[in-house]
Structure 1
Amino acid sequence: MSAAALPPAPPSTLVIFGGTGDLTRRLLVPALANLCGDGLVGNDLTIIAIGSREGDDESLRAGLDEFAPDTDCWRALRGRITYLQGDFTQPDVFQTLKQRLGDGNAAFYLATPAQFFGPIVDALADAGLMDEVEGRFQRVAIEKPFGHDLASAQALNRQILARVAEAQVYRIDHYLGKETVQNIMVARFANPWIEAVWNNRYIDHVQITAAESIDVGTRGSFYDATGAGRDMVPNHLFQLLAMIGMEPPNDLSADAIRGEKAKLLGAVRPPDDAGADGVRGQYEGYRETADVSADSTTETFVALKLHVDSWRWGGVPFYLRTGKALTARDTEVAIVFRQAPLALFRDTDLNNLPPSQLVLQLQPDEGIVMRFMVKQPGPELRAVPVQLDFHYAERFDIKGRTGYETLLYDMLMGDQTLFQRADQIEAGWAAVQPFLDAWGGRPDAIETYARGSDGPAGATALIERDGRAWNPIGA
Structure 2
Amino acid sequence: MGSNSHLQTLSNPTTLVIFGASGNLAQIKLFPALYELLAYGHLPERLSIVAIFRQSSAALDTVMSQVEVTMLRQHRECDPAILARLKSLIRPIIMDSTNQEDYYRLRDMLDGIDHEFSVAHQRIFYLAIPPSIFKPVIACLGAAELNKEYDGVARRIFIEKPFGSDLASARDLIDSIKTHFEEHQIYRIDHYLAKETVQNILTFRFQNPLIRSIWNRDGIDYIHIRALEKIDIEGRSDFYESLGALRDLLQSHLLQLMALIMMDAPTAMESHAIHEQKNALLGAIKLPTEPIDEFANRGQYQGYREEVNNPESQVETYAIVKLGVDLPEWHGVPVVLETGKALDHKDTSIEVVFRDRHNIDSGRNTLTIHVQPDEGIELQLTAKSPGFGYETRPVSMNFSYNTAFEGKNPEAYERVLFDAIAGDQTLFSTSAEVLACWEILEPIIQTWRNHNSIPESYTKGSEGPVGGIGIRKSVTT
| Aligned-partner SS, 1:394 | helix
1:125-174 per-residue CA deviation (whole Å, 9 max, x = no partner) reads: 11010100122111000000000001111111111112111000001111
Q: Does 1:97 align with 2:100?
A: no
Q: 2:236 aligns with which of 216, 219, 224?
A: 219
In the alignment, the residues of structure 2 paired with residue 66 and residue 246 of structure 1 have an alpha-carbon distance, to the nearest angstrom, of 41
When residues 398 and 24 of structure 1 are mapped into structure 2, their CA distance, relative to the original with a 3 A threshold, is farther
Is structure 2 residue 15 aligned with structure 1 residue 13?
yes
> Which residue pairs with 1:155 in the alignment?
172
1:234 maps to 2:243: no
Question: Does the 8 Å contact 1:279/1:458 carry over to 2?
Answer: yes
Q: Which residue of 2 aligns with 1:434?
A: 443
* Paired amino acid for 2:331: G
Tell me, yes or no, if structure 1 residue 114 matches structure 2 residue 114.
Answer: no
Q: Name the CA distance, whole Å, in 2 between partners of 1:302 and 1:360.
A: 21
2:297 maps to 1:279: yes
Match of 2:223 in 1: 206
- 8 Å contact kept, 1:204–1:337: yes
Say yes or no: does 1:67 pair with 2:70: yes
SS in 1 for 2:132: helix
C-alpha displacement of 1:71? 5.2
Q: Measure, in 2, the Cα distance between the counterparts of 1:108 and 1:214.
A: 32
Given that 1:233 and 1:432 are in contact with CA atoms closer than 8 Å, whether structure 2 keeps it comes out as: no
How has the CA–CA distance of structure 1 residues 295 and 59 changed in structure 2, closer, same or farther, with 3 Å as cutoff?
A: closer
Aligned to 1:259: 276
Superposition map of 1:335-374 within 5 A? 335-339=352-356, 355-374=364-383
- Cα offset for 1:379? 3.0
Give the drift of 1:382: 3.1
Secondary structure at the counterpart of residue 224 of structure 2: strand
Distance in 2 of aligned mates of 1:58 and 1:43: 24
Q: Secondary structure at the match of 1:205?
A: strand
Aligned-partner residue type, residue 445 of structure 2: L
Matches within 5 A, 1:41-190: 41-56=43-58, 57-67=60-70, 69-70=78-79, 72-102=81-111, 103-190=120-207
Moved more, 301-310 or 181-190: 181-190
Amino acid at match of 1:81: I
Instruction: Please give the alpha-carbon distance, in whole angstroms, between the structure 2 residues aligned to 1:9 and 1:24.
Output: 24
Q: Tell me whether 1:269 sits opposite 2:286 in the alignment.
A: yes
Indicate how the Cα distance of structure 1 residues 456 and 5 shifts in structure 2: closer, same or farther if over 3 A, else same.
Answer: closer
RMSD: 2.0
What's the offset of the Cα at 1:60?
4.5
| Cα pair distance change 1:270/1:104, threshold 3 Å | same
Does the Cα contact within 8 Å between 2:296 and 2:444 map onto a contact in 1? yes
Aligned match for 2:459, one of 426, 450, 470: 450
Distance 2:395 2:452 in 1: 44
CA distance in 1, matches of 2:469, 2:299: 12
Instruction: Return 5+ residue gaps in structure 2 as ranges.
Output: 72-77, 112-119
1:318 is aligned to: 335
Letter in 2 for 1:95: Y
- Could you say what secondary structure the match of 1:125 adopts? helix
In structure 1, what is the Cα distance between the partners aligned to 2:342 and 2:363?
28
CA distance in structure 2 between the partners assigned to 1:432 and 1:335 by the alignment: 22
Query: 1:51–1:374: structure 2 CA closer, same or farther, 3 Å change rule?
Result: same
Q: 1:23: which partner in 2?
A: 25
Corresponding residue for residue 116 of structure 2: none
TM-score, normalised to structure 1, is 0.92
Which secondary structure state, in structure 1, belongs to the residue aligned with residue 352 of structure 2?
strand
How far did 1:3 drift?
A: 5.5
- Structure 1: how far apart are the matches of 2:192 and 2:327? 25
Give the aligned length: 459
Partner residue, 1:35: 37
Task: Measure how far apart 1:52 and its partner are.
Answer: 1.4
Distance verdict in 2 for CA 1:287–1:124, change over 3 Å: same
Query: Could you give the per-residue CA deviations for residues 82-103 of structure 1, whole angstroms, max 9, x where no partner exists?
Result: 2112210001221111011015
Amino acid at match of 1:365: D
The alignment status of 1:308 with 2:310, answered yes or no, reads no
Inter-CA distance 463–212: structure 2 relative to 1 (3 Å threshold): closer
Residue 367 of structure 1 deviates from its aligned partner by: 0.9
Partner deviation per Cα, 1:406-459 (whole Å, 9 max, x = no partner)? 111111111101111100000000011111112112334321111111211112
Are 1:275 and 1:435, in contact at CA under 8 Å, matched by a contact in 2? no
Question: What does residue 473 of structure 1 align with?
Answer: none
Conserved? CA contact 2:231–2:343, under 8 Å: yes
| Stretch deviating more after TM superposition (456-465 or 253-262) | 456-465
DSSP-derived class of the 2:370 partner: strand
Give the TM-score normalised by the residue count of structure 2. 0.91
| Residue equivalent to 1:416 | 425
Q: How far off is 1:354 after superposition?
A: 6.0
The AA in structure 2 aligned to 1:134 is: D
SS at match of 1:215: coil
SS of the residue corresponding to residue 315 of structure 2 reads coil
Q: C-alpha separation between the residues in 2 aligned to 1:71 and 1:178?
A: 27
User: Which letter maps to 1:175?
Assistant: Y
Task: Note the residue ranges of structure 1 that are not aligned, 5 or more in a row.
Answer: 344-349, 470-475
> Cα–Cα, structure 1 residues 243 and 97, in superposed 2: closer, same or farther, change >3 Å?
same
- Contact 2:50/2:91, CA 8 A, preserved across alignment: yes
CA shift in 2, pair 1:247/1:71, >3 Å = farther
User: Is 1:36–1:73's contact at 8 Å kept on the other side of the alignment?
Assistant: yes
Which residue does 1:245 correspond to in 2? 262
**Percent of pairs identical after alignment?**
37
User: Which one-letter code corresponds to 2:286 in the other structure?
Assistant: R
Select the residue among 396, 403, 421 that pairs with 1:394.
403
2-structure distance, mates of 1:32, 1:46 = 12
| Aligned partner of 2:213 among 196, 209, 226 | 196
Distance 1:461 1:234, change over 3 A: same
**Alpha-carbon contact 1:275-1:439 (below 8 Å) kept:** no
Q: Matches of 1:307 and 1:292 in 2, distance apart?
A: 38
Greater alpha carbon shift after TM alignment, 208-217 vs 384-393: 384-393
Residue 346 of structure 1 corresponds to none
- C-alpha displacement of 1:341: 7.2
Q: CA deviation at 1:9?
A: 4.2
| Worse-matched range after superposition: 36-45 or 209-218 | 36-45
